[in-house]
Structure 1
Amino acid sequence: MRTTRLKMNLQFFSQEKTEKATPQKRQDSRKKGQVARSAEIPSAFMMIGVFLFMSFLGEWIIEGLQTMIRSNFVYIANWTLTEQNVDLMMKENVWQAAVIAAPLMGISLVMGVVANYMQVGFLVSTDPLQAKLERINPLKGAKRIFSARTLVELLKSLIKITFISAVTFTVLWNKREEVMLISQKSIGDAISLVGSLIVQTGLSVGILLLFLALLDYVYQKYDFEKNIRMSKQDIKDEYKKSEGDPLIKSKMKEKQRALGVNRMIAEIPSADVVITNPTHFAVALKYDPNEMDKPTVVAKGMDYVALKIKEKAKEHDIITTENVQLARALYHQVEIGDGVPEDLFKAVAEILAYVYSIKGYPGGGN
């Protein structure tokens, strides 16, 4: 009973998401469009950009609006109410309004793109656009409505409304004397005053929103890191997936070793001699003076592989000779396909001379 309970506890703790996300997890989340970003930062950037533009080119905007209004009055005074005239006036008004609004729209677009790029860099993901049935699940929808995140968003909205109202009231209160006398001003001065108040209020609110947006980004970063945490089991599973299951890898290595041994054994018939120690090591040598500068190891092995080498040599009448020290030295110092080192030349040459004398061609070669 205790053992079962201990296993359950260990399993529970292994599934608890307490570990920081791995780079692979972060990359997968990014591909799905899941990144730490605040939607408030683009809004704040766009507001500041628009009202800064209006503060520098507000006169141009007002002149454009005045020109459009004057042209309408002049046109209406001399026109006949027909379908063609109404259509023509609407087209002209839409075009003039588009010319005035285009710079504002362009600045909003640029500032929005810049704000998003500063947060997440270049990112294009279609995953959020894919249709998923879980999004229309009423139970999950209810959970989202009454979740802690929704409560935080409500709190953020209340804070924004409170601060924006306070900033707007402060700007208007500071200009209260001018606002009270607006009825005594000319139309041009009144429009200028209203425009100035709008720009001041907009910039003040934009700066406030930017400050709140930076705080929101810190929270979004924290919430994102919390949501992508991984359990120890998740990390193990990811490692197995990326590096491969150790059991499968070991089986693959066994197959690779088996293939390597088979290829090596296939070279035995071309060898001149097999040197053993006599039971644990076996090294097959080949020497052709017309093609090689030095004798070459074509096969080597230990224990079971050494036994297979000796069996293959016996099958093809390859001479086997015992030399404990030389067999060990060749096995440890020389890789398959490499030539014999100089310090072993003499010992190998004596064995090859013995083999050639038995075969009846002391000049060497097969």
Structure 2
Amino acid sequence: MKVRLDLQFFSQEKTEKATPKKRQDTRKKGQVPKSNDVNTALLLLAVFLFLFFYGGTFFHFIIGMMRQVFTEYVQWDINEETIPVIFNELTAETAFVVIPVMLVALIVGAGASMLQVGFMFTPEAINFKLEKINPLSGVKRIFSIRALVELLKSLLKITLVGVLVFSIIWFSLDSLVFLSQRPVADGFSEIARLTGIIGVSVAILLLLLSVPDYIYQKYDHEKQIRMSKQDVKDEHKKMEGDPLIKSKRRKKQMDMAMQRMMQEVPEADVVITNPTHFAIALSYKEEQMAAPKVTAKGADYVAMRMKSLAKKHDVVMVENKLLARALYSQTEIGDEVPEELFKAVAEVLAYVYRLKNEYI
């Protein structure tokens, strides 16, 4: 009893790699190895590089918009007619600044996801499930090993990012101290330049940290989708079909094949018998065939059915034990008669044709 329980335990232990079908099923559910740090790092890098190189254009545009506000809009009367006009113009001008940044973020974010998991549409992942709002499941997730690893990762990232930002500000401290003595435009440019450097540096740091995180996520995903030996057997059985159903299907196919074969017996020119064990039906159409062809064959019960059909449809039966045994063992249904049996078969067919001519 103990041995049986041990074997059952080991059969349920998840030690096997996931099969292609299991991987496909988990992918349909949205469960794929993916690091959010990769997306975040590439997104930050792309946005800050875009702002770093095109920030001057945005700066001049914003200055122009501010000039319009403080030189033109301040002179307008505030009423029900002017407020919608001001709001629409400012919204359009703001969209001109914001939309390019959002487009860059959207394209890079989608590209980063496709880089990791490829194109994936998984509506099943957003289906409502009660287990997602189960408090017990939430507590288990919070105090799991995975949650602990994520906490340590977050603390490490916060520490490294804090040290990096502090270092950049520390080395730029001289220019920041005298920032109040410089013109507004120069001060704004200096702050924008420093912000861009910090953003790009942080993005590169997160990108470097995302490499081991992606490796870990892939390892954890492989661990999560492992299968037990019993799972593999069950999946194989499910894909191949239940043995009982397979046997019924095979029997049905054999019955259909037998039925088709029996339909050929009435059309045969001759049925050669053993006389009791074997029966082979031969057909020969001189204008269509190079040699006589076996259209049906059988042993024992099948042979009896063939002889019964032949007798019913007046098909000539010839008893030849050696020839019947040789044809049964050397040919399959649809085969032409082997060359070494041509002479014996020709004699049988000649006898059959002679009988038919006498009958006529």
User: 1:1-366 residue pairs with structure 2 within 5 A?
Assistant: 4-287=1-284, 289=286, 293-314=290-311, 318-357=315-354, 359=355, 361=357
Q: Deviations over 1:40-69 (max 9, x none)?
A: 212111111111111111111111221122
Matched residue of 2:169: which SS? helix
Q: Distance in 2 between matches of 1:226 and 1:192?
A: 50
CA contact (8 A) 2:73 2:86 kept: no
Alpha-carbon shift at residue 166 of structure 1 (Å)? 0.9
Q: Distance in 2 between matches of 1:63 and 1:211?
A: 34
Alpha-carbon shift at residue 319 of structure 1 (Å)? 4.5
Matched residue of 1:242: which SS? helix
Q: Distance in 1 between matches of 2:28 and 2:108?
A: 24
AA at the equivalent of 1:285: L
- Once superposed, what is the RMSD of the aligned Cα atoms? 2.3
AA at the equivalent of 1:244: G
Matched residue of 2:357: which SS? coil
Q: Distance in 2 between matches of 1:126 and 1:270?
A: 58
Report which stretch shifted further, 321-330 or 119-128.
321-330
Alpha-carbon shift at residue 167 of structure 1 (Å)? 0.9
Alpha-carbon distance change, 181 to 304 in structure 1, aligned in 2, over 3 angstroms: same
Alpha-carbon distance change, 346 to 171 in structure 1, aligned in 2, over 3 angstroms: same
Alpha-carbon shift at residue 273 of structure 1 (Å)? 3.0
Matched residue of 2:96: which SS? helix
Matched residue of 2:163: which SS? helix
Q: Distance in 2 between matches of 1:346 and 1:312?
A: 27
Alpha-carbon shift at residue 291 of structure 1 (Å)? 6.1
Alpha-carbon distance change, 108 to 290 in structure 1, aligned in 2, over 3 angstroms: closer
Q: Distance in 1 between matches of 2:86 and 2:258?
A: 90
Q: Distance in 1 between matches of 2:299 and 2:279?
A: 7
Alpha-carbon shift at residue 292 of structure 1 (Å)? 5.1
AA at the equivalent of 1:51: F
Q: Distance in 1 between matches of 2:357 and 2:337?
A: 21
Q: Distance in 2 between matches of 1:210 and 1:12?
A: 42
Q: Which runs of 5+ in 1 are unaligned?
A: none
Report which stretch shifted further, 29-38 or 115-124.
29-38
Q: Distance in 2 between matches of 1:163 and 1:338?
A: 79
Q: Deviations over 1:203-247 (max 9, x none)?
A: 000101111222221111111111111111221222122222233
**Length-normalised TM-score, structure 2:** 0.91
Report which stretch shifted further, 245-254 or 29-38.
245-254
Aligned length: 360
CA contact (8 A) 2:268 2:281 kept: yes
**Length-normalised TM-score, structure 1:** 0.90
